[in-house]
Amino acid sequence: MEWVNAVIQGILLGGLYALLATGLSLAFGVMRLVNLAHGDLNILAAYLALVVVTATGANPLLSLVLVVPVMMIIGFLLQRVLLNSTLGGGVLPPVLVTFGIAVVVQNVLLDVFSADSQGLDAGPLENASVTITGQISVGVFPLLTLLVAVGVLLGLQFVISRTQLGRALRATSDDIEAARIVGIDHRRIYGIAMAVALGTVAVAGVFLGIRTTFGPSDGPQRLIFAFESVIIGGLGSLWGTLVGGVALGVAQAVGNQINPAYQVLSGHLLFLAVLAFRPSGLFARRTARET
Amino acid sequence: MTVSATTSTPALPPFRVESATPASRAVAVVGLLLLAALTTLPAWGGSGTMKLLIEFFTLLALAQMWNLLAGYAGLVSIGQQAFVGLGAYGLFVCTDRLGLHPLLAIPVLAAVVALIALATSLFAFRLHGGYFAIGTWVIAEVFRILVSGAKEVGAGNGVTIQAVAFLGPQGRLALTYWLALAVGSGSVILVAWIMRSRLGLALRALRDSEAGAESLGIDVFRTKLAVYLIASVGAAVAGAIIYLLLLRIQPNAAFSVDWTARMIFIVVIGGLGRIEGPIVGALVFFGLRETLADFGSLYLVVLGIVAIGLTLLAPRGLWGLFLARFPMVSFGSQRRLVMGPDVERRQAT
C-alpha cells in the first residue's frame, strides 16, 4: 500500500513538474531557445507572490492575478530586449546570455530577500485531503495542482492549434523565413511566446511555493527538474512534457520511498536511462528532432 | 611550423603553409622568460603571493579547458564542476587511501577521470546545444549526490587530505605552486599546440560548418569526443591542484556549479575561441573580484551583466575588441599560405 501511495503522490508531484516544464518546452519549440534562467525566473515568481501576499494578506493563489501578468511582461521584455538578438548566431549566445540572466536574478534575489528559505501559506487548503480507500488519501492541493497543469496544457494546446496566434507560432517555428514573407513579425511572436512561457512559469512558481519552501539558490534545481521532464517526455510535444513530468514525479516519489536521500537521485537516474536507451524521449513527436 | 612544399607538381607554384609569425615568436620568447622568472618565485615570494598565483593559474587552466570545449568545439558544458570535484576526490583517494605521492597521484587520477569522462560522454553526447549544457549539469549533480552519500569519503561532511603533511607547509605550498604554474602554462601551450595540429584544423572546419566538415571527411563525433576528454581531464588535474592547496574537500563546494560559472565568465569576458581570451579574462576576473570584494553577491551581479553585455555587443570579448584595433596573432595558430620564388630559399635555411 505504501508503494501505491508513493506512486500516486508521484503522479501528483508530476503535475507540478509538467507545469514547471511547459515554459521551457514552449520556448524551445517556438524559438529553439534553451532558457537557462528558467528555474531562477520560477523562483522570482514565487518571491513576487510572497511580496504580494505579505503586502495584501491575500491567499497566494489569488496573487496569481498579479504575478502572472507581471511575469508575462518580464518575459516579453526579456525576449525583445535581450534574447531575440542572441538567436540565429549559433548555440553559444543564447546559452551564455540566459546563464548570465540566471546568475543576475539569483544574486539579486539573494541580496534583496537573504538566503533564508521562504514559503507561501495557502491556509487550510494545504492540509485538506480526500480519502480514497482506508490507507490511501490524496491531498486536495496536489490534486488541484495536477488539474491546473492539465488545464494550462489544454489551454496552450488550444491556442497553438486553433487560434491566429497559434498559427503564427507554428509558422515561425517551422520556417522563419517563410513566416516573415507572409508578414509575421517573428520578433514580436517570440516576445509573445516568451510571455506565455513565463506566464506558465509564474503559475508553477506559486504552486511550488505553496507546496515546498524556496530560497534564492533553488533556481538551478528547478531548471533541472523542468529539463528532465522535457527530455523524458520527448522534445517538442506538450503532452510528452506532461508524461515526462509525471514519470519524473513517480521516479522521485519511489526513490524517496526507498530512502529519502535518493529522491532527487532517482529522478536523475531515470533521466540518464531515457537518454541512454530512448534518447528521443518516451513521447517524441517525429518532427521534433529535425534541428 | 612548416608544412610540406609540394614543388614536385609543376603546375603549382612553390608554396608552403606556415602558422608562426614574428609576433608569435616574440610571445614565445617573452613567455619562456616570464615562465623562468615565475618558476623561481618560491625562493623569493611571500606565501600570500603564491596562493594568489596558484588560484590564478588553476583558474586559467580551467578556463582554457572550457574555452577549448565551448569556444572551439561548440560544446557548451555547465557540468565541468563534475571533473573539478572528481579531481579533488581523486587526489584524496590516491594520497590518503592509496598512499601515493601527489606527483604520482595526478597522472593516476587523470587516467581514471579520462575513463569516467568517456562514460559520461555516452549520455551527454545524446544532447545538443543548450540541452547539452543542462545535461552535463545533471551529470555533475549525480556525482555530487553520489559522493555526498558515500561514507568512504566522509559523505556530506567531506574529507581532509592528510597524507601530504610529510611535505611540510612550505614544501607543500612550493610544490602546489609549481604544479599550478605547470598546469596554467601547460593549458595555454596545449591549446596552442592542439590548434596547430590536425585536431585543431578539424575543430576550425567544424566551427564554420558541421555539415561541411563532415563532407570533408572529418569525424565530427570523434573530434568532439577528443576535446571533451581533454577538457575533462584538464579540469580534473586543475581541481586536484586546487585541493592540494585547500586540503579540505566538501562535496557541495567541490561539485559546485560556481566552478563552471567562473570558467564561463573568464572566457566570455576575455574572448571565446581565442587562446588569449582566458588569459585576459582571468586577469580581469581577478581584478574585478579584488575591487568588488566588499559588495558580496553584487559582484556576481556585475559579472553576469558584463557577460550578457559582452555576449550581445562584443561576442569575441575584450581580446576581440583589442584585436579589432591592433591585429596580430600572438600564438600563431592561424595558418597562412606563403607563395613566391623566395619560398624555396627560406625553406632551405
Which residue in this structure is represented by grid cell 596552442?
Answer: B192
pLDDT at residue number A88: 79
Residues of B in contact with A94 (CB under 8 A): 130
Q: Over 50: is that where the pLDDT of B348 sits?
A: no
Radius of gyration for the alpha carbons in chain B, expressed in angstroms and rounded: 21
Nearest to B312 among A97, A223, A265 (CB): A97
**Other CB atoms within 10 Å distance of the CB of residue B177:** 24
pLDDT, one tens digit per residue, over B73-85 is: 989 999 999 999 9
Which residue in this structure is represented by grid cell 597524507?
Answer: B163
Nearest to A271 among B130, B133, B138 (CB): B138
pLDDT at residue number B53: 93
Residue B142 to residue A265, Cβ atoms within 8 A: yes
What dihedral do alpha carbons B328, B333, B335, B338 form, nearest 10°?
60
With CA atoms as reference, the chain A residue closest to B133 would be: A95
Interface of A with B in 205-264 (CB under 8 A): 220, 223-224, 227-228, 231, 235, 261, 264
In this complex, is the C-beta atom of B297 within 8 Å of any C-beta atom belonging to chain A? yes
pLDDT at residue number A23: 92
CB-hemisphere CA count at 13 Å for A135?
6
* In chain A, % of residues over pLDDT 90: 56
Nearest to A97 among B131, B298, B308 (CB): B308
Nearest to B70 among A85, A92, A111 (CB): A92
Which residue in this structure is represented by grid cell 507560432?
Answer: A169
Beta bridge partners of B337: B17
Nearest to A107 among B74, B133, B301 (CB): B301
Taking residues A187-201, report their average pLDDT.
Answer: 94
Higher local confidence (pLDDT), A176 or A70 = A70
What's the rounded Cα separation, in Å, for the pair B141 and A268?
A: 8
pLDDT, one tens digit per residue, over B38-56 is: 888 888 888 888 999 999 9
pLDDT, one tens digit per residue, over B10-42 is: 566 677 777 777 777 888 888 888 888 888 888
pLDDT at residue number A287: 44
Residues of B in contact with A102 (CB under 8 A): 304
The pLDDT confidence band at residue A53, using thresholds 50, 70 and 90, is very high
Residues of A in contact with B129 (CB under 8 A): 32, 34, 91, 95
Which range (A135-144, A200-209, A241-250) has the least confidence? A135-144
Residue B315 to residue A272, Cβ atoms within 8 A: no
> Per 3-state DSSP, what percentage of chain B is helix, strand, and coil (rounded to 5)?
75, 5, 20
pLDDT at residue number A110: 93
Residues of B in contact with A95 (CB under 8 A): 76, 129-130, 133
pLDDT, one tens digit per residue, over B302-321 is: 889 999 999 999 888 998 88
Residues of A in contact with B138 (CB under 8 A): 224, 227-228, 268, 271-272
SS3 B260: helix
In this complex, is the C-beta atom of B12 within 8 Å of any C-beta atom belonging to chain A? no
pLDDT, one tens digit per residue, over B247-282 is: 999 999 999 999 999 999 999 999 998 899 999 999
* In chain B, % of residues over pLDDT 70: 91
Q: Over 90: is that where the pLDDT of B330 sits?
A: no
The pLDDT confidence band at residue B7, using thresholds 50, 70 and 90, is very low
Residues of B in contact with A93 (CB under 8 A): 311-312, 315
Interface of B with A in 70-109 (CB under 8 A): 70-71, 74, 76, 78
Higher local confidence (pLDDT), B126 or B112 = B112
SS3 B331: coil
In this complex, is the C-beta atom of A97 within 8 Å of any C-beta atom belonging to chain B? yes
DSSP assignment of B143-212 equals: HHHHHHT-GGGTGGG-EE--GGGGG-HHHHHHHHHHHHHHHHHHHHHHHHHHHHSHHHHHHHHHHH-HHH
Higher local confidence (pLDDT), B321 or A126 = B321
The pLDDT confidence band at residue A124, using thresholds 50, 70 and 90, is confident
pLDDT, one tens digit per residue, over A12-36 is: 999 999 999 999 999 988 888 999 9
Residue A228 to residue B307, Cβ atoms within 8 A: no
Q: Which of B250, B119, B76, B95 is nearest to B175 (CA)?
A: B95
Q: Over 90: is that where the pLDDT of A77 sits?
A: yes
Nearest to A107 among B76, B272, B300 (CB): B300
Radius of gyration for the alpha carbons in chain A, expressed in angstroms and rounded: 19
What's the rounded Cα separation, in Å, for the pair A200 and A156?
A: 10
Backbone φ and ψ for A139, nearest 5 degrees, come out as: -65, 140
What's the rounded Cα separation, in Å, for the pair A246 and A2?
A: 18
What's the rounded Cα separation, in Å, for the pair B192 and B274?
A: 10
Taking residues A142-147, report their average pLDDT.
Answer: 90
Whether pTM > 0.90 for this model: the answer is no
Nearest to B130 among A36, A82, A279 (CB): A36
What's the rounded Cα separation, in Å, for the pair B206 and B223?
A: 9
Residue B331 near residue B27 (C-beta atoms within 8 A):
yes
pLDDT at residue number A254: 93
The pLDDT confidence band at residue A291, using thresholds 50, 70 and 90, is very low
Taking residues A162-189, report their average pLDDT.
Answer: 88
The pLDDT confidence band at residue A182, using thresholds 50, 70 and 90, is confident
With CA atoms as reference, the chain A residue closest to B131 would be: A34
pLDDT, one tens digit per residue, over B193-225 is: 998 899 988 988 888 788 888 888 888 899 999
User: Measured between CA atoms, how close is B243 to chain A, in angstroms?
Assistant: 24
User: Measured between CA atoms, how close is B170 to chain A, in angstroms?
Assistant: 37
Beta strands in B35-150 (DSSP E): none
Residues of A in contact with B130 (CB under 8 A): 28, 33-36, 91, 94-95, 98
Nearest to B123 among A228, A261, A276 (CB): A276
With CA atoms as reference, the chain B residue closest to A108 would be: B301
What's the rounded Cα separation, in Å, for the pair A205 and A192?
A: 20
Residue A276 to residue B126, Cβ atoms within 8 A: yes
With CA atoms as reference, the chain B residue closest to A264 would be: B145
Residue A111 to residue B298, Cβ atoms within 8 A: yes
Which range (B32-36, B40-44, B131-135, B169-173) has the least confidence? B40-44
Residue B88, C-alpha cell as written in the block: 579533488
The pLDDT confidence band at residue B191, using thresholds 50, 70 and 90, is very high
The pLDDT confidence band at residue A80, using thresholds 50, 70 and 90, is very high
pLDDT at residue number B84: 97
Nearest to A104 among B76, B304, B312 (CB): B304
In this complex, is the C-beta atom of B150 within 8 Å of any C-beta atom belonging to chain A? no
| Alpha helix (H) residue ranges in chain A | 2-31, 38-56, 60-77, 92-113, 140-162, 164-174, 176-181, 186-211, 219-233, 238-258, 263-277
In this complex, is the C-beta atom of B119 within 8 Å of any C-beta atom belonging to chain A? no
What value does the mean pLDDT of chain A take? 89
What's the rounded Cα separation, in Å, for the pair B35 and B39?
A: 6
Interface of A with B in 16-35 (CB under 8 A): 28, 32-35
Q: Over 60: is that where the pLDDT of A87 sits?
A: yes
